[in-house]
Structure 1
Amino acid sequence: MQKQKWNEEKIKQILKQMPSIKDDRSPEIIYRTIQMEEKTVRKAKRIMPILATACTIMILFIISQSFFDSKESLKSERKVAENSSIMKAEISDEAEQSKMENFDLADQQAEMLTSSLTPAAIYQEDVGDREVLTYPIPDENVQVIVPVSILVENPNHLTRFDLYVQNVKKLMGVNKRLSEYFPISPELFSYHLTDNNIQVEVKQEFMNFGSYSEAFFNTLIQQQLQTIGAKKMEFYTDGKLGAELGNRKETIIEYRPLENRAYFLLQDSESEEQPLYVPWEKPYDSIEIAFDAMEDDMETHGLTASIPDSIDIDKVSKDEKKRQLIVHLSNESKMEEDQKTLYAIEAILLTAKEFKYSTVKFENTKVKEVGRFLLTKEVAVPVAANRAYIEE
């Protein structure tokens, strides 16, 4: 197709052929219209930068807000983390404190348990300004003699004899395992001390409290003589020397020291009371033999072993110069911080005292202390057995 060539004449001819366009508006109206359109364009040109700036500000605000929110969130998260760490530390501290408190409570309980292990004998530190009196009382079956000891004040400075007689009645009924029949009661006898000899007047017929042996009755008398510090005891009936005492007739009994005896336990398995220490009435040839005997019950007389199976004495050595007994336990021994072990320790100490030892050193015990006994050091023997508490 041939391309047309445009010239001025050609364009005029084409325009003449187009329909005519007529504008009825006056020139003034047309001018104002044009002016308004120009203002609108100029106004639009001015508004666009403002809108752009506003949008920019809004975008910056949104971004900054997001940034601040993120920062605040980060700070919040950091604070939460810090709080969490603090809480964890506090919880850890509380747990540690609780743990320590539990340990302290356990220690207190252990201390309470240890302190509850009460010795049944009297020791020198218990005496103070008081005096020790020991009374021989038969058990409820009248088979053995139980030495029962008390601590008494002596403000009037009475003699041992007068103090002994004055406190006799206070021992009645101190333990249900002891006989209610008191064979040294003032109701039965009147006592007089002359030249360090005790004269006993039988006030009424002496009640037979069993077919006791000579050793049994001898222990009864010897314990009284030992406590009072007298040399002998003479028995009278109606002013005449000699008295029927149960199945025996007695006149004069001279003091012979009670020594080399082994201590056993008199106890009731159904009773919560402490057992009583009972020295066997016959002496032993050596302390080793005495310790061996203390490992077995003496069923015929209602006595039980004072050295349990858990404690095995391997050997015994002696320091005669220091009057110290060294008791070495075997590796199989299992000393515990319990009452049974405490009874065994006291029975060993009382027996050592019978053999004239002043202290006992325990070796290979595996425990440092039992109750008041510090086993890492030498332990002093008791002053007397079976402490009874009486009203002054």
Structure 2
Amino acid sequence: MDRAELVELLSPEGLRLLDSLPEWQAKTDIVAAVSDLRRQGHSPSLVAAVLTQSRLRAKARAKFGEFSTRMLFTEAGLEQATRLRVAALHAGRFARAGIRHVADLGCGIGGDSLALAAVDLEVTAAEADEVTATIAAFNLAPFEQARVLHTTAEEVHLGGIGGAWLDPARRVTSGGRTRRLSDAADYTPSLDFAFGLADRLAVGVKLGPGTDRGVIPVDAEAQWISVGGDVVELGVWFGAVARPGVRRAALVVGEQGADELTASADSEDAPVGPLGDYLYEPDGAVIRARLIGDLARAHGAWMLSDGIAYLTGDTAFQSPFAQGFRVIERLPADERQLRQALRARGIGTLEIKKRGIDIDPAVLRTKLKLQGAASGTLVMTREEGRHVALLVERLPRDAAH
């Protein structure tokens, strides 16, 4: 979206038209929608703008819930925006630390600023891109205590501000295409600037969950967060918003609440041993935080193979930090023999999970030529360094989580 399109969208006509559209559906006939709006006399640029926003609002529902129906978005801004549920956790840190004024430096479309303002914190948000800054201002308009500046993070005057939140841009758009930056040195603002603010402010920095751990300062708290089984971010915290004694944390957010593992450092892996009666797959946040060993020791489990994030044991347990499986039987790891074994058991629908073994589950599923009415879950991995194929069934998750 360029500046002219945004101006047209923000006109009374544009906003009324956007709000009058039916909710976007995957089956929406775009050609018919464009034709209908053009027949009503709306300009091609306005039609394109409102239909794009309608689609983005529908896509944003997963992150912002009902708030999405009154917000505006850019494609890149929505992609990088924090889920509102997670942003509320960020805001809670600043509120509990007694910080009343927070700078959101590189605010994007304003998702984190919205959460900060919602807990009555004063917010100074800054965004270098003019269109994105305007959209952030629109999204934050209901909050008198929030203001948006069209400027870079580095240019914001921080006098009187007690805390800062930064979500450095990890994508660049060129020629209409957006690509993810692989080198943290290329982020905007830079990590040197972001981490350097911790010398004078309480600071939180949002990074991608796969960020090289070598960039995490030794005096910071690093918290990986997963939502619904997907690891969505790494939060790096300093000063009053970092918890004393916590350097590694895995926060698992589910439908019923949140659970967390914390430690003062990476945990030592548990010993490796043979396959037990049960197999456990730790949540991705636990894996990223390197707290698998602590999880294993808490439940009397051990590693199935060195360097592979599967635990095993002879006792069933339920945990929000791992999905458990009962091991039904070992099957041949050889493809031809495995196909015969599955066919003999009438398994026609197969979930394939793999770790530590170079296979493409989709390709393997095709080669297995599955037949039958039964379904199953197959784990392809290593046991004490050797390839194994395990037929398993999922254990129910704890209803409390």
Q: Quickly name the TM-score band, shorter chain normalised.
A: under 0.3
Whichever structure has more strand as a proportion of its residues is: 2
Whichever structure has more helix as a proportion of its residues is: 1
Q: Relative CO higher for 1 or 2, CA cutoff 8 Å, sep ≥ 6?
A: 1
Structure exhibiting the larger radius of gyration computed from Cα positions: 1
Normalized against structure 2, the TM-score is what?
0.24
Normalized against structure 1, the TM-score is what?
0.24
